């Protein structure tokens, strides 16, 4: 399974980066191959200063070896080996009317002293962070997510949407990071679902990413904007940074386990503002976004 899934994310990275390169029209992805001293490595692809994307990355990695101490504590074991691989992407567009997007799909195995698999699971999801809210874009994104889920179980979308809404919540601000999407973790083999079923579901979601996001980019990337729109985008990017550095489990885990810093912090936007007690004008488009972020919304039935 680990070889099968890693091959999948290799191909998915190629598909996504080639598609985004065409959408951008100016910049190309810079590729950075790296190795991890403890075992494994990755293929980082970053795009910067493009026609559409100010900064973005589509990264794959596989790491393996002895369980780091934080994982040993988490799983309640004194020793053991592991394997983990995944694709992670974040795209920060230049135009404030195009939303930021984040996604990742990952697989994990843990072994006993004899090399037998003790546990294995999939995780991942995709979520949208707009700076100006277009309801039809939110509905489109969530409808694609729901359609992918519905092909595997009628309750997956509502369950994983709720998990996403709860996870991407800036507790210290009491607001959502964005308008959500899907988030799932620890998808293991059960009486109802084989590990092959889990693979099929996660790859279905991964395959749906381009359909969920690229049509929104194409629709909004040519809209005219002014400095006030950029200022708001950069203030809201600050909230994105706050979530990633304060709450995001993946970022915190990477920082605590000698992860590759450039890949971990790739998710951060290039230009950000923190304005003291910044409040948008009443009834403005900026204020309308904040109202939606106060509580999760049901975008599709």
Please write the tens of the pLDDT for every residue from 158-183: 999 999 999 999 999 999 999 999 99
Burial-class residue 10 by CB neighbours within 10 Å (0-12, 13-18, 19+).
middle
Which of 80, 76, 98, 82 has its CA nearest to residue 223? 98
For the chain, the domains span 2-293
Can you give the pTM of this predicted structure?
Answer: 0.95
**Active-site residue, from 102, 140, 142, 229:** 102
Place of tokens 């970053």: 46
| Assigned architecture for domain 2-293 | 3-Layer(aba) Sandwich (3.40)
Place of tokens 């029209």: 25
Mean pLDDT score of the chain, rounded to an integer? Answer: 95
Helical H segments across the chain, by residue range? 2-24, 69-75, 135-150, 156-167, 195-207, 209-220, 227-246, 249-256, 261-264, 285-293
DSSP class of 266? G
Q: What is the pLDDT of residue 264?
A: 85
| pLDDT tens readout for residues 231-285 | 999 999 999 999 999 999 888 877 877 778 888 888 899 999 999 999 999 999 9
Residue 75: pLDDT band by 50, 70, 90 thresholds? confident
Q: What is the pLDDT of residue 250?
A: 83
Place of tokens 């099968």: 4
102 is catalytic: yes
């Amino acid at each position: 399974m680990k070889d099968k899934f890693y091959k999948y994310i290799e191909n998915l990275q190629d598909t996504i980066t080639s598609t985004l390169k065409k959408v951008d029209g100016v910049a190309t992805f810079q590729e950075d191959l790296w190795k991890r001293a403890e075992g494994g490595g990755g293929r980082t692809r970053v795009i910067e200063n493009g026609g559409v994307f100010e900064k973005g990355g589509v990264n794959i990695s596989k790491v393996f070896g002895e369980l780091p101490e934080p994982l040993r504590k988490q799983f309640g074991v004194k020793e053991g080996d592991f394997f983990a691989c995944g694709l992670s992407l974040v795209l920060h567009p230049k135009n404030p009317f195009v939303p930021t997007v984040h996604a990742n799909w990952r697989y994990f195995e843990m072994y006993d002293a004899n090399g037998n698999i003790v546990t294995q699971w999939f995780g991942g999801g995709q979520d949208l962070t707009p700076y100006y809210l277009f309801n039809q874009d939110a509905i489109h994104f969530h409808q694609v997510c729901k359609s992918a889920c519905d092909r595997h179980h009628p309750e997956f979308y509502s369950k994983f949407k709720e998990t996403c809404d709860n996870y991407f919540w800036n507790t210290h601000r009491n607001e959502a990071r964005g308008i959500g999407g899907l988030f799932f973790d620890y998808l293991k083999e059960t009486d109802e679902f084989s590990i092959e079923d889990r693979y099929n579901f996660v790859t279905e979601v991964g395959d749906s990413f381009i359909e969920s996001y690229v049509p929104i980019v194409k629709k909004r990337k040519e809209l005219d904007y002014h400095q006030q729109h950029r200022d708001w985008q950069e203030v809201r990017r600050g909230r994105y940074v706050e979530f990633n550095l304060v709450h995001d489990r993946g970022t915190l885990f990477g920082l605590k386990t000698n992860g590759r810093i450039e890949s971990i912090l790739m998710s951060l936007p290039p230009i950000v503002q923190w304005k003291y007690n910044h409040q948008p004008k009443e009834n403005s488009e900026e204020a309308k976004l904040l109202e939606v972020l106060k509580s999760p919304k049901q975008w599709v039935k």
